[in-house]
Chains A and B, each alone.
Chain A
Amino acid sequence: MENNDINENTIVCVNCPRGCRVRVQSQNGEITNITGYQCDLGIDYAKEEFKNPTRILPTTVRVKGGELELVPVKTARPIPKSRIGEAMRELAGVKVQAPVKRGEVVVEDIAGTGIEVVATRSIALSQDQDNTGKKKETS
């Protein structure tokens, strides 16, 4: 956006079921005008969403020796939307050792954001596994 053209982005406000289509006009990345909202929440939301859209990322990672194969996790805080793909790629390689406690930090700094990924469920040790890590045949 090197030129001085005025850009218009439409941002759907998610704060209530109305879902106003808020129009953000900008020039060189600076907001020049905001229209289309029906209350002030829409202005704040559109500004934030224009400048730095962020999301909490909920997903799962693998568990070793647990009662379940996976533990659900989330980023402790919202991360920039643009980092979600990278975060998913990093998490694909993560494997945690059971037992896992809810709130336990699984990754300290995800995708260079400085934000932690934490477990959202406790996973106990598998009751029925032998020392190869495989599940025993249950009778």
Chain B
Amino acid sequence: MMREHQLVIIGAGPAGLAAALEAEKAGIEDIVLLERDEYLGGILQQCIHNGFGLDYFGEELTGPEYAERFIDDVRESSVKIRLKTMVLNISSDKKIIAINEEEGMIFLKAQAIILAMGCRERTREAIKIPGTRPAGILTAGTAQRFINIEGYLPGKEVVILGSGDIGLIMARRMALEGAKVKGVLEIMPYSSGLVRNKVQCLDDFGIPLKLQHTVDYIYGKQRLEAVDLIQVDDNFNRLPETRERIECDTLLLSVGLIPENELSRDMGLKLAPGSGGPLVNELRETEIPGVYACGNVLQVHDLVDYVSEEAEVAARGAANFIRDSLKKREKEIIIEPGSGINFVIPHKISYQDESRKLIRHFLRVDEPRENIKIVIRDEAGSRIASFGREIVTPGEMETVKLPETLISEGTDRLNFSIEAEGVEENGKQ
């Protein structure tokens, strides 16, 4: 039997939760939220550290606290929640196949769909370290779940590969629980983690951060016994004379996150290079009208506050789609990442909306820089806005709000790039 609903949301992490609440607020009455896990909140439930919510709530919360504020509201709302329900397939005509213990296969048809499946971690295969394949090698996020939710420590002597925030947070967590963290290795000449995490997760515990280092070899039959560290030069060439063996029983990998887009791909959505998620317009609508994407499935966020905000944008888009109250622009505007920028979200601007004054864009720069400007130019190369920044790093998502009034009628292309400070400005935020 095929059940029909106005809006179906896939994934109940912070993106799915915020989207459900905002859609209800926008007047949608028939909302279904599908989650494969046995609880709501997504990855936030294992991120027990503080540092969430400063932007959205104006106070510093832990992951579970941030999640629970939304969970409480969703439980009070008319949103129909289905836990332990895994979505297996979505078709381009918005039919959904899911499975759960009680009902077996279930079939849904939706007027609009919001994809909020989050991301997953890159695994060892993705980076191909030579050596044996013993137990004791796991991703930092898996270790985080073991320690913070299931309650056991996956090892005693640890090396961490990757110095993004998750790697840094896990270094502290393992150290607090009594493990010896022998070092955090980073192949780049800088850490992509927040300065605060470097200080409070590594320096506080005397854990060394080895920049321009990686794991060269893995030893151990059943269980991991040791790894070889090696230094790399500026061109990532390994320097054999720097090889050093370190005994350890655990190697945590924190080498990046990939948006979880199997379902999106199967429904025929193209994935954008750079962000790794579907191509979207400013409402977070994908190439399939009425299908939206937000949160880590669209682009890997480092601030959950932006996830909530993005989900709300998608939910308002979906609500307007369901009510059929959207007006297309005559010409779509393509957003191009230019020099110094890896990607910009949204990828295009499709709708005309007199009520909005600003269109918020999220972007990632390709390397750390100081005293620069984020410059937006139109197809003729004229500068239409520029935003000064004292410092930008790839580890921290940048955001700029482009005033709608600056976009002229006939524009069909906007280029975002990083330029050196010095030229006069007109759109400083």
Contact = CB atoms under 8 A, between A and B. Distances in A.
Interface of A: 12-14, 16-19, 55-60, 62, 68-70, 72, 74, 81, 84, 88, 102, 120-122
> Which of B147, B149, B198, B395 has the most chain A CB atoms closer than 10 A to its own CB?
B149
Interface of B: 45, 48-50, 60-62, 64-65, 68, 147-151, 176-177, 194-196, 198-200, 203-204, 368, 370, 390-393, 395-396
B50 A72 contact: no
Contact of A17 (B194, B199, B203): B194
Given A58-B50, A72-B64, 5 more contacts: A12-B203, A14-B194, A17-B391, A59-B176, A60-B48
B241 to A, nearest CB: 30
A125 B359 CA distance: 45
A102 B62 CA distance: 11
A4 B206 CA distance: 28
A12 B195 contact: yes
Contacts of B395: 17
B393 A17 contact: yes
B65 A121 contact: yes
A19 B195 contact: yes
A55 B200 contact: yes
Contacts of A56: 50, 60
B172 to A, nearest CB: 9
A19 B198 contact: yes
Contacts of B198: 12, 19
Contact of B68 (A14, A57, A121): A121
A10 to B, nearest CB: 10
Contacts of B200: 14, 55
Given A102-B65, A120-B48, A120-B64, A12 B151 contact: no
A135 B86 CA distance: 24
Given A17-B194, A18-B390, A60-B48, A72 B148 contact: yes
A57 B368 CA distance: 30
> Which of B49, B60, B150 has the most chain A CB atoms closer than 10 A to its own CB?
B49
> Which of B62, B68, B370 has the most chain A CB atoms closer than 10 A to its own CB?
B62
A59 B391 CA distance: 32
A62 B150 CA distance: 10
29 contacts: A12-B195, A12-B198, A14-B194, A14-B195, A14-B196, A14-B199, A14-B200, A16-B391, A17-B195, A17-B392, A17-B393, A17-B395, A18-B370, A18-B390, A18-B391, A58-B48, A58-B62, A60-B147, A70-B151, A72-B62, A72-B148, A74-B50, A74-B62, A102-B64, A120-B48, A120-B61, A120-B64, A120-B65, A122-B68
Contacts of B45: 121
> Which of A12, A16, A58, A88 has the most chain B CB atoms closer than 10 A to its own CB?
A58
